[in-house]
Amino acid sequence: MKIATWNINSVRLRLDQVVRFLEEEAPDVLCLQEIKCRNDQFPGKPFAGAGYAHQAVSGQAGYHGVAILSKAPMKEIEAERFCDNDDARHIAATVAGVRIHNFYVPAGGDIPDPDENDKFAHKLQFLKELEGRFGGRGRSKIREVLVGDLNVAPREHDVWSHRQLLDVVSHTPVETGLLDKAAAAGGWTDVARALIPEPEKLYTWWSYRAADWRQSNRGRRLDHIWVSPGLEKAALAGGAGAVRIHDRCRGWARPSDHAPVTAALEM
């Protein structure tokens, strides 16, 4: 099972890019974040035409929003609320016996102080609830995957400069600590770092502000694929080549600032 995650930063604006990615990479499941449209505005027909007739969408007007596209039928589709908000940041579905959770964690604004920045306070609360949502599961054999734009680059080599970004939102110690707690509480394995350990640099996001994003290469790894203990063996069986960051998509015309990430599970 090949699973992909991509913050597309407006699915209607980048519809052709999503179809191109589906045709070239053919994942079994693609999870999208920041679709930025209501459910009735989601461009489902072109995706169905590309072989992804099974779709689950949780959207809203203009902001956020998540969706799952699948070649195979989905069941038990559910969108959960976090932080008492209906802001379309989660959707889950079961595909071929695997429970898939697709998240878009709040970005958190620019000021890394919850007392001065409500957006940062929201992000920290969301990460705490993420820990609680899957806490206590331990080494259960349940087969689950958690993917999405988690908006945290947790490791030293997940950013272009650990020292310079320690006080920048997405890499502050309080955020990385909360994400680590969420991973530990659910017994999750971070597939990319399990297969491609540090000190190798891994990035999935590059700012639009860079005149030449590839030349400057000041990236961060904000997009993640985690697996539960019941899928750890399947996720790691393929070795380092089983996980890929498709940075070529960042170089397409009018791209998202995020690149898609795929992981192949040897079921």
56-86 pLDDT tens trace: 999 999 999 999 999 999 999 999 999 999 9
Q: Any idea of the CA torsion for 157, 159, 160, 161, to the nearest 10 degrees?
A: -80
Mean pLDDT for 207-213 is 95
For strands 98-104 and 144-149, give the pairing: parallel
Mean pLDDT for 228-239 is 96
Rg (CA), the chain: 17
Nearest in space to 231 (alpha carbons), one of 241, 223, 242, 222: 242
Q: Look at residue 110 and tell me whether its pLDDT is greater than 70.
A: yes
Mean pLDDT (the chain) is 97
pLDDT at 136: 75
Q: Distance of CA 266 to CAs 97, 142, 206, 263, Å? A: 14, 16, 30, 10
User: How does DSSP assign 115-144, residue by residue?
Assistant: TT-HHHHHHHHHHHHHHHHHTT-TT----E
Q: Look at residue 177 and tell me whether its pLDDT is greater than 70.
A: yes
pLDDT at 138: 62
Q: In one letter, which amino acid is 259?
A: A
Q: Look at residue 191 and tell me whether its pLDDT is greater than 70.
A: yes
Answer whether 0.85 is exceeded by the pTM: yes
Mean pLDDT for 10-24 is 98
131-157 pLDDT tens trace: 999 987 666 688 999 999 999 999 999
Bridge partner list, 85: 82
pLDDT at 139: 63
pLDDT at 135: 86
pLDDT at 165: 98
pLDDT at 102: 98
* Domains, the chain, ordered by start: 2-264 (3.60.10.10)
157: tokens are 């080599």
